[in-house]
Structure 1
Amino acid sequence: MGFNTALSGIKASADYLSVTGNNIANADTTGFKKSRVEFDDLYNTSVLGAGSGNSIGSGVSVSAVSQEFSAGTLSYTDNNLDLAIDGSGFFIIDGGMSDAYTRAGNFKLDEDGFLVTNNGNNVQGFNAVDGVVGGNLDDLKIPTDRIPPEPTSEMSLKVNLDSRNQDVPPFITAEFDPNNPDTYNFTQTQGVVDANGQSHIVTYYYAKGEQPNTYKIHATVDGKTTGDDGLPFLGDTYATFNNAEGGVDYNGDGIEEQPFELLYVGATPPNPIDIETAVKTPLAVNGTLNGVAITSALAPEEMRDTSIVGREAFDPLDPDTYSYGNTRTTYDSLGEPHTVGYYFIKQGEENTYELRVTLDGEESFVDPFTGDDVRYLERNTSVSFDPAGNLLGTYRGIPPLGTAQPVPLEVRGIDPTNRGSITELDIGGSTQYAIANTDTFEQDGFSSGELQGVSFDSDGFLIASYTNQQTAILGQIGLATFDSTDGLMPTGKTAWVASEGSGPANVGRPNSGTLGKIAGGALEESNVDLTAELVSLIEAQRNYQANSKTLETENTVTQTIINLR
């Protein structure tokens, strides 16, 4: 029996050496899991000897070679298709007859765009359709198609308009001086005849006030502001017009459907009631000049015919005609980029701005069906803030020219390929604080783009990036766990298959349960501790030598017995 005991020890030690050597050999193998040898002692049994406390052992056997599935260290690479699992899950690969499972995530793309292992096995996951990840496990594929263009359908603008912005142009506070053009905006002249039949020139000076399209009016006679008594020829007088820039030609036919006209004339700044009831008091010039009485009146009808504009016409190229403006890029249905501009013009009404929108530098377009000239944003659209600088809302109409009505900001025809389109401009969250004018702008359109690269996030989503700065979800990697990883059967090439001992695979998605999350651009190193394995190698060698010595000793004893005569 001593021979058998020694032989069993030698065999067990040889197995120990083989397992340790295999661990050492795979110390640099991605996803490799080290093995260990588990031993059992042997005893001979018989009916007579059963239960005896003096039984002599008959050697050792290898009861199992088990694998340790502890996690290896993560090593980061420059390859976005290298994946590692921070958890207990396994990648699922198509093993032919059945699925196999691995922790080695050094994947690549084959010629058909499928994600595969170095051995050509397809990696399993959940493919996406139009960015929606499906529920069926399949070979994970990366389509290389060009991403189609998407026209702009939503725009979001968050702007801060500096509360220190002045009216455009600034209302005039300087004392009136007919010799100083900075103290008025425009003039109008009228010829009059005095009591002696002498001709005189009356000049009316319009100085912009704090309210929109409202002016304080001064008058001179032959260049003099006061009569012989030292009093002004014209007392306090204010006028309000219906527009800031003259008449309005709605359809581009050269005829002003809304002429430039006077809405109010009076001795005090206008209020909504005055505007609504169209109060108009003639401009009355009274006084004496060189002892001769001069009296003149400019009727409201005559003021209506004026072609002089109270404010320089809005021009997106001239920053003096607006308080703040900026341009951004939008896209039509063909993916062509266009430049949308938004401009805020502070009005005399406190905390109110007129908003103008342009596309490619123009405020309007020609309707292809009616031939009418259509504004991208309705005329007289205004934005108002409360005294604390918070957005009150958007309105059609600018006080005091009428009651402003809340309206959504709808930009028409911003897609030149679809002039009937209406795109909402959301300015929620905009403010008016005493800091510099600034804005953030977002829109959902983009041009066509080519596939530029792919990567995986921690949830295992396969994300494609394109040359048009867009991204898309193409799928999600699949993972599996087992009730008992010790029951997995190794098949080589750092892969395992399920067995009765492991139970069936529990398939799921990364970052759920114990499956773990994905580390993109990383690989899991072997969990072999090389120092520990070298120590085990020495132990296996000594065990082998010791059991060999037992065999040699048994042989010597046996030979002695044979030599007895």
Structure 2
Amino acid sequence: MSFQQGLSGLSAASQSLEAIGHNVANANTIGFKQSQIQFADIYAGTLIGSGGNQIGIGTQVSRVAQLFSQGNISKSDNPLDMAISGNGFFRMSTGGAITYTRNGQFTLSKEGYIENAAGARLTGYMADANGVIAIGAPGELVINKADLSPEASTEYELKLTLDSRKGNLVSADFNPDDPATFSDSTSAPVYDSLGNVHTLRTFYVKTGAGTWDVYATNDGVPVPTGSTPEGLIGNMTFNNGGVLTSVSTMDVPMVVTTGAATPYTITIDQAGTQQFAQDFGVSRQLPNGFAAGTLVDFSVSSNGEIVGRYSNGQTNLLGQVILANFANPNGLQNRGDNQWVETSESGVPMVSTPGSSGLGAVQSSRVEESNVDLTAELVNMITAQRYYQANAQTIKTQDQILQTLVNLR
């Protein structure tokens, strides 16, 4: 009598229970991908006889496949946590050894590297001091915590609505301290090369129907333009419809005594300014430049860009996360700690930025949960248990038959 079928069934059922147990144990493991046992039947080789008369000798495990289906994405309070919505793996480096993972639970090391619990560092493209991504060979991402250097103001975009009902004034009488000598004014903060803030105030003096002179002061002092009175930087002309038809170049010479570069020039762009019979108003006021700033926090966008936010209100690109995908993810070798390595079966990694080349998007402050369906696994456990019992019963039955034969006299 043959016990082979029953023994192979017991072995297969035992391995199935091991896979199910592994899945159940990792039901709460972030980024975990469940395993699935796949079986194949066994037939003894023979050179004679009809195929229809063959009786199999049991079963065997053909492979343990991992199911890379999308897990649920849940919210996290850690801004460094990331989840991949779609295809791809995070590319990690441990002393130069590259692994891949779907677990996006990351922290910041004391050196500024983004790493996981196993100490593997997230890789991507770094940005230079100007926020330009250096696309090339991926490297370990490190957050640059250096202060953001100040930038002197050089341009000032200013769009106004001037009140055509204002009375005409004599431009030569302009005095920034006397509201009776100008029609309207507005001010904005500007910065020198050291990041010191100054107040640039512009004044508008209506000199005739549709004609205006423009003056400027720096911290209350008329800018040195050599005009009489000092501070005249240009003029504007409007047609009968209130549309700006001509405007002189308005370059403001800024003289400062803070140790910064001086003098420096700010060009005011007043294109789009109009003149109507309505109250004076500012519709756009945008000077460039900013003071020095320290890194406050940073976030990760859907395309993997790491954007730093600074105390001066500015943002700067610090780097970009990359993802990798494989022609055959099931060919990856599992190394534990939710990490895989490439093999000849998986093919070479196809590396690109999130959201491109068929790769998924990155979600910040999110994690991808295990794709284990606990209810289904518990049902599979019951099935595997019955399968084990049934195979044990075939061995028991064959043992009884064999005992009967032995007892024949």
TM-score category of the 2 structures, normalised to the smaller one: over 0.9
Map residues 275-314 of structure 1 onto 2, 5 A cutoff. 313-314=174-175
Query: Quick check: 1:544 aligned with 2:403?
Result: no
Instruction: State the shift of 1:456 in Å.
Output: 0.7
Q: Quote the Cα distance in structure 2 between the aligned partners of 1:497 and 1:36.
A: 19
The unaligned stretches of length 5 or more in structure 1 are 170-212, 214-242, 246-312, 395-406
Q: Which residue in the other structure is 2:304 paired with?
A: 460
Secondary structure in 1 matching 2:16: helix
Q: Quote the Cα distance in structure 2 between the aligned partners of 1:486 and 1:351.
A: 75
CA 1:539 to 1:157, structure 2 compared with 1: closer, same or farther past 3 Å? same
TM-score using structure 2 length: 0.93
CA 1:150 to 1:415, structure 2 compared with 1: closer, same or farther past 3 Å? farther
Higher alpha-carbon deviation: 412-421 or 545-554: 412-421
Instruction: State the shift of 1:161 in Å.
Output: 2.0
Summarize deviations over 1:463-486 as a string: whole Å, max 9, x none: 111111111111111111111111
Instruction: State the shift of 1:375 in Å.
Output: 8.2
Report if the CA contact (8 A) 2:172-2:228 is conserved. Answer: no
Q: Percent identity?
A: 37
Report if the CA contact (8 A) 1:86-1:516 is conserved. Answer: yes
Instruction: State the shift of 1:554 in Å.
Output: 1.3
CA 1:443 to 1:68, structure 2 compared with 1: closer, same or farther past 3 Å? same
Q: Quote the Cα distance in structure 1 between the aligned partners of 2:150 and 2:230.
A: 22
Q: Which residue in the other structure is 2:251 paired with?
A: 410
Report if the CA contact (8 A) 1:414-1:423 is conserved. Answer: no
CA 1:549 to 1:94, structure 2 compared with 1: closer, same or farther past 3 Å? same
Q: Quote the Cα distance in structure 1 between the aligned partners of 2:253 and 2:230.
A: 5
Report if the CA contact (8 A) 2:125-2:322 is conserved. Answer: yes
Map residues 429-508 of structure 1 onto 2, 5 A cutoff. 429-439=272-282, 440-508=284-352
Q: Which residue in the other structure is 2:210 paired with?
A: 351
Secondary structure in 2 matching 1:538: helix
Q: Which residue in the other structure is 2:401 paired with?
A: 557
Q: Counterpart of 2:408 in structure 1: which amino acid?
A: L
Instruction: State the shift of 1:30 in Å.
Output: 0.7
Which of 366, 377, 382 matches 2:235? 382
Summarize deviations over 1:286-333 as a string: whole Å, max 9, x none: xxxxxxxxxxxxxxxxxxxxxxxxxxx433x55443332121111111
Q: Counterpart of 1:134 in structure 2: which amino acid?
A: A
CA 1:350 to 1:373, structure 2 compared with 1: closer, same or farther past 3 Å? closer
Report if the CA contact (8 A) 1:482-1:504 is conserved. Answer: yes
CA 1:453 to 1:56, structure 2 compared with 1: closer, same or farther past 3 Å? same
TM-score using structure 1 length: 0.68
Secondary structure in 1 matching 2:384: helix
CA 1:436 to 1:497, structure 2 compared with 1: closer, same or farther past 3 Å? farther
Q: Quote the Cα distance in structure 2 between the aligned partners of 1:106 and 1:376.
A: 62
CA 1:517 to 1:336, structure 2 compared with 1: closer, same or farther past 3 Å? same
Q: Quote the Cα distance in structure 1 between the aligned partners of 2:375 and 2:36.
A: 15
Q: Quote the Cα distance in structure 2 between the aligned partners of 1:435 and 1:561.
A: 114
Equivalent residues, number: 404
Q: Quote the Cα distance in structure 1 between the aligned partners of 2:142 and 2:334.
A: 27
Secondary structure in 1 matching 2:23: helix
Q: Which residue in the other structure is 2:263 paired with?
A: 420
Secondary structure in 2 matching 1:53: helix
Q: Which residue in the other structure is 2:221 paired with?
A: 362
Q: Which residue in the other structure is 2:188 paired with?
A: 328
CA 1:373 to 1:111, structure 2 compared with 1: closer, same or farther past 3 Å? farther
Secondary structure in 2 matching 1:446: coil
Larger radius of gyration: 1
Q: Quote the Cα distance in structure 2 between the aligned partners of 1:373 and 1:119.
A: 69
Q: Which residue in the other structure is 2:148 paired with?
A: 147
Q: Counterpart of 1:322 in structure 2: which amino acid?
A: F
Q: Counterpart of 2:292 in structure 1: which amino acid?
A: S
Q: Counterpart of 2:146 in structure 1: which amino acid?
A: D
Secondary structure in 1 matching 2:398: helix
Q: Quote the Cα distance in structure 1 between the aligned partners of 2:152 and 2:120.
A: 40
Q: Counterpart of 1:71 in structure 2: which amino acid?
A: Q
